Amino acid sequence: MASKTKAVPAEQEAPEKERAESQPDSPVLDLSDAAVKKMISRAKKRGYVTHQSLNAVMPSDEASS
């Protein structure tokens, strides 16, 4: 016989501190930036985004290897 367990909603599973750290306050990329728009249009034409093009538009203080 299988035992029944109660499903716990997703917001109750993770502690509040972990949720706050995993969700940034603002987007990492500024979608109004010309370089980001250019990268997105090139990626749409090619069908993929390269690491090199993504690293070129990422702010250096936000991204690390």
Tell me the per-residue pLDDT of 26-36, one tens digit each, with 9 for 90 and over.
Answer: 777 778 888 88
Q: Which of 45, 24, 10 is nearest to 37 (CA)?
A: 45
Cite the DSSP H helix spans in the chain: 10-13, 16-22, 34-46, 51-57
Measure the CA–CA gap between 57 and 31, rounded to whole angstroms: 10
Domain locations in the chain? 31-65
Evaluate if residue 17 carries a pLDDT over 60: no
Global pTM value: 0.51
Q: Residue 26 corresponds to which tokens in the numbers above?
A: 């603002």
Q: Residue 12 corresponds to which tokens in the numbers above?
A: 């109750």
- Range 2-22 average pLDDT: 59
Measure the CA–CA gap between 40 and 30, rounded to whole angstroms: 12
